[in-house]
């Protein structure tokens, strides 16, 4: 995908989402997502993938899925490490954090809810369905924090 096409598409999606191109750092709106532009662009680009993007019939993410993934950051504490993103062949967007023997991964399917696992080497946790509108579960916050060494 050409960068200009990607940027244009990202702008259109952001327009729908009312998310600015640059994170303002202000509070109280969807524009306050605590992620950098690179991650935001990557997530938005997932909705612009061509059919069969992975060589196995992969689908693009739906707009609802992109919105869910971006909305997740409305409740995301700024002190936590930033995630990486991934996409499945079914168009499900994932975020993940990995380090210190911990693995945290979240799936967004556009339903307004997400599924997550938050595992340490010694214990496993997770939930099948958490509403995007709810604050992050404590387990999720704790294990995300454990993926990096404390500053």
Partner 1 sequence: MECGDALKGSGAEGNRCIRLAETKPDCGCEADVARLIYSPLHIDPDTREVTEAAFSDVKDKGLSVQREGHTTPAALRALGEKKRADDWAKGKTDRVFLGIVTGPVQAIRELTYEGGARTFCVYDSALLDQRAHADVCQVPSSPSAMKRARKKLRDLFQRMPRMP
Binding residues (CB under 8 A) for partner 1: these are: 1, 49-50, 52-58, 84, 86-90, 92, 94, 96, 103, 105, 107, 115-117, 119, 124, 126-129
- The CB-of-115 to partner 1 minimum distance in angstroms stands at 4
Distance CA 83, CA 139 (A): 16
- The CB-of-17 to partner 1 minimum distance in angstroms stands at 21
Distance CA 139, CA 111 (A): 22
Rounded-to-5 percentages of helix, strand, coil across the chain: 35, 20, 45
- CA atoms within a 13 Å half-sphere pointing along the CA-CB vector of 25: 0
Sign of CA dihedral 63, 49, 113, 25: negative
Q: Which is nearer to partner 1, 15 or 38 (CB)?
A: 38
- The CB-of-4 to partner 1 minimum distance in angstroms stands at 15
CB 6, CB 48: distance < 8 Å: yes
- The CB-of-21 to partner 1 minimum distance in angstroms stands at 21
Q: Which is nearer to partner 1, 40 or 105 (CB)?
A: 105
The three-class DSSP label of residue 45 is helix
The count of other CB atoms within 10 Å of the CB of residue 149 is 7
- The CB-of-67 to partner 1 minimum distance in angstroms stands at 19
């Amino acid at each position: 995908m050409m960068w200009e096409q990607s940027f244009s598409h990202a702008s259109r999606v952001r327009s729908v989402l009312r998310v600015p191109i640059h994170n303002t750092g202000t509070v109280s709106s969807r524009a306050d997502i605590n992620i950098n532009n690179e991650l935001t662009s990557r997530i938005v680009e997932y909705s612009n993938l061509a059919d069969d993007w992975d060589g196995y019939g992969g689908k693009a993410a739906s707009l609802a899925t992109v919105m869910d993934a971006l909305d997740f950051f409305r409740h995301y504490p700024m002190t936590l490490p930033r995630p990486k993103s991934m996409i499945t062949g079914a168009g499900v967007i994932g975020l993940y954090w990995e380090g210190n023997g911990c693995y945290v991964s979240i799936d967004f399917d556009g339903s307004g809810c997400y599924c997550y696992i938050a595992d340490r080497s010694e214990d496993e946790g997770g939930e099948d369905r958490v509403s995007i509108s709810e604050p992050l579960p404590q387990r999720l916050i704790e294990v995300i924090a454990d993926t990096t060494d404390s500053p």
